[in-house]
Structure 1
Amino acid sequence: MRPIPRRSFLAGAASAAAAPLLPRFAFAATPTGTKLHGLSAFGDLKYAADFEHFDYVNPDAPKGGTFNFSPWNWFFNQSLLTFNTLNSFVPRGDAPPRMEMCFDALMTGPLTGALDEPDAVYGLLAETVMLSDDRNTFEFALRPEAKFHDGTPLTADDCAFTFKLLKKEGHPNLMLPLSELADAAAVDAHTLRLTFSGEQSARTVLDIVKFPILSKAYFEANPFDGRGLKPPLGSGPYKVGHAAAGQTIEYERVPDYWGRDLAVNRGLYNFDRIRIEFYSERQAAFEAFKKGNIHYRQEFTARVWATGYDFPALKAGKVIKREFPAEKRPSMQATAINQRRERFRDRRVRQAIALCFDFEWTKRNLFYDAYERSQSSFERSDYKAEGLPSPAELALLEPLRDGIPPEAFGEAVIQPVSDGSGRDRKLLGAASKLIAEAGWKRNGRSVANGKGEPLTVEILVQDDVFVRIDTHWVENMKAIGIDASIRMVDSAQYQARQADFDFDILSMALSFTATPTRDDMESLFHSRSANLPGSRNFPGTADPAIDALIDAVGRAADRQSLVTAVRALDRVLRARLDWIPNWYSANHRAAFWDMFGFKEPKPDYGFPVEAMWWFDKDKAAAIGKG
Structure 2
Amino acid sequence: MAARLARRTFLAGAASAIAAPLLPGLAFAETPTDTKLHGLSAFGDLKYPADFTHFDYVNADAPKGGIFNFSPPNWFYNQSPLTFNTLNSFTAKGDAPPRMEMCFDSLMTGGMTGALDEPDAVYGLLAESVTLSDDRNTFEFALRPEAKFHDGTPLTAEDVAFTFNIYKDKGHPDLLLPLAQMTEAVAVDAHTLRLSFNGKQSARTILNVAGFPIVSKAYFEANSFDSANMKPPLGSGPYKVGRVSPGQTIEFERVADYWGRDLPVNRGLYNFDRIRIEFYQDRQAGFEAFKKGDVLYRQEFTARVWATGYDFPALNQGKVVKREFPAEKRPSMQATAINQRRERFRDRRVRLAINMCFDFEWTKRNLFYGSYDRSQSCFEKSDYRAEGMPSPEELALLEPLRGKIPDEAFGEAVVLPVSDGSGRDRKLLGAASKLLTEAGWKRSGQFLANDKGESLSVELLVDDEGWIRIASPWIENMKAIGIDASIRSVDSAQYGARQAEFDFDLIVMAVSFDATPTRESLEGIFHSRSATLPGSRNLPGTADPGIDALVEAAGTATDRETLTTALRALDRVLRARQDWIPSWYLANHRAAFWDMFGYKEPKPDFGFPVEAMWWFDKDKAAAIGKA
TM over 0.5: yes
Aligned partner of 2:17 in structure 1 is none
Q: Distance in 2 between matches of 1:28 and 1:194?
A: 18
Q: Distance in 2 between matches of 1:587 and 1:474?
A: 29
SS at 1:243 equivalent: strand
Given the two structures, how large is their TM-score scaled by the length of structure 1?
0.96
8 Å Cα contact 2:93-2:228 kept in structure 1: no
Question: Does the CA contact (< 8 Å) of 1:29 and 1:42 recur in 2?
Answer: no
Q: How does 1:569-608 map to 2 (within 5 A)?
A: 569-608=570-609
Aligned position for 1:451 = 452
Indicate the SS of the match to 1:256: coil
Which residue number in structure 1 is paired with residue 611 of structure 2?
Answer: 610
Q: Which letter maps to 1:44?
A: D
Q: Which residue of 1 aligns with 2:15?
A: none
Measured in 2, the distance between the counterparts of 1:499 and 1:227 equals: 15
Q: Is the 8 A contact 1:596 1:615 kept in 2?
A: yes
* 8 Å Cα contact 1:81-1:491 kept in structure 2: yes
Q: Is the 8 A contact 2:27 2:44 kept in 1?
A: no
Q: CA contact under 8 A between 1:322 and 1:589: conserved in structure 2?
A: yes
Is 1:242 the counterpart of 2:265 in the alignment? Answer: no
Bigger shift: residues 437-446 or 44-53: 437-446
1:167 alignment counterpart? 168
The question of whether the paired residues in 1 share the 8 Å contact of 2:340 and 2:541 is answered with yes
- Indicate if the aligned counterparts of 1:27 and 1:40 stay in contact, CA closer than 8 A: no
Contact 1:86–1:226 (Cα < 8 Å) also in 2:
no
String of CA shifts for 1:77-124, please: whole Å, max 9, x gaps: 000100000000001200000000000000002111100001111000
2:229 and 2:394 mapped to 1: Cα distance? 49
In the TM superposition, structure 1's runs of 4+ consecutive aligned residues that sit over 2 Å from their partners are 28-31
Match of 1:376 in 2: 377
Give the corresponding residue for 1:196: 197
1:185 aligns to 2:217 (yes or no): no
Q: Which residue of 1 aligns with 2:546?
A: 545
* CA RMSD, 1 decimal: 0.7
Amino acid of the residue matched to residue 500 of structure 1?
A: E
Distance 2:210 2:273 in 1: 27
Cα deviation, 1:497-525, whole Å, max 9, x if unaligned, reads 00000000000101000100110101101
1:179-231 CA-partner distances (Å, limit 9, x unpaired): 01111111100000101110001101111000010100000000012322000
How many percent identity over aligned positions? 79
CA contact (8 A) 1:270 1:614 kept: yes
Q: 2:403, 2:471 → 1: CA distance?
A: 36
Match of 2:271 in 1: 270
| Structure 1: distance between partners of 2:246 and 2:542 | 35
Provide the C-alpha distance between the structure 2 equivalents of 1:341 and 1:395, rounded to a whole number of angstroms: 33
TM-score with structure 2 length normalisation?
0.96
One-letter amino acid of the structure 2 residue matched with residue 207 of structure 1: N
Residues 1:225 and 1:540: Cα distance change in structure 2 (over 3 Å): same
Q: Which amino acid aligns with 1:65?
A: G
C-alpha contact 1:530 1:541 (8 A) present in aligned 2: yes
Would you say the 8 A contact 2:249–2:278 is kept in 1? yes
One-letter amino acid of the counterpart of residue 375, structure 2: S
**What is residue 35 of structure 2 aligned with on the other side?**
34
Residue 254 of structure 1 is matched in structure 2 by 255
Q: Distance in 1 between matches of 2:583 and 2:30?
A: 39
The 3-state SS of whatever aligns with 1:549 is: helix
Partner residue in 2 for 1:120: 121
CA contact (8 A) 1:88 1:99 kept: yes
Which amino acid in 1 is paired with 2:143?
A: L
The yes-or-no answer on 1:314 pairing with 2:321 is: no
Show the counterpart of 1:141: 142
**Superposed displacement of residue 26, structure 1:** 6.4
Structure 1 residue aligned with 2:362: 361
Match of 2:219 in 1: 218
Secondary structure of the equivalent of 1:402? coil
The equivalent of 1:514 in structure 2 is 515
Determine helix, strand or coil for the equivalent of 1:205: helix
One-letter code of the match for 1:72?
P
Hey, what's the Cα distance between the residues in 1 that align with 2:310 and 2:431? 41
**Pairwise mapping of residues 387-402 of structure 1 onto structure 2 (< 5 A)?**
387-402=388-403
Amino acid at match of 2:78: N
The answer to whether the 8 A contact 1:332-1:509 is kept is: yes
- Please state if 1:525 is matched with 2:533: no
Offset at residue 445 of structure 1 (A): 2.0
1:568 aligns with 2:569: yes
Cα deviation for residue 137 of structure 1 reads: 0.9
Shift of residue 581 of structure 1? 0.4
- 2:484 is the alignment partner of 1:483: yes
CA contact under 8 A between 1:393 and 1:565: conserved in structure 2?
Answer: yes
| Code of the aligned partner of 2:440 | G
How far, CA to CA, are the matches of 2:427 and 2:228 in structure 1? 53
Structure 1 gap segments, 5+ residues each: 1-24
For the pair 1:100 / 2:101, whether they are aligned, the reply is: yes
Deviation at 1:29, TM superposition (A): 4.7
Equivalents in 2 of 1:160, 1:96: separation in Å?
26
Deviations 1:426-453 (A, max 9, x none): 1000000000000000112211000111
Distance 1:536 1:63 in 2: 37
Aligned residues: 602
* SS of 1:376 mapped into structure 2: coil
Contact 1:459 / 1:485 at 8 angstroms: preserved in 2?
yes
Gaps of 5+ in 2: 1-25
Report the 3-state secondary structure (helix = DSSP H, G, I; strand = E; otherwise coil) of the residue aligned with 1:403: coil
Partner of 1:299: 300
Aligned mates of 1:270, 1:513 — CA distance in 2:
25
**Matching residue of 1:10:** none
> 2:451, 2:575 → 1: CA distance?
29
Distance 1:87 1:121 in 2: 25
For residues 52 and 27 of structure 1, the distance between their equivalents in structure 2, rounded to whole angstroms, comes to 26
Q: Give the Cα–Cα distance (whole angstroms) in 2 for the partners of residues 122 and 89 of structure 1.
A: 22
Distance in 1, matches of 2:570 and 2:503, equals 27
Distance 1:295 1:413 in 2: 42
Question: Contact 1:408/1:575 (CA < 8 Å) preserved in 2?
Answer: yes
Whether the 8 Å CA contact 1:336–1:506 is kept in 2: the answer is yes
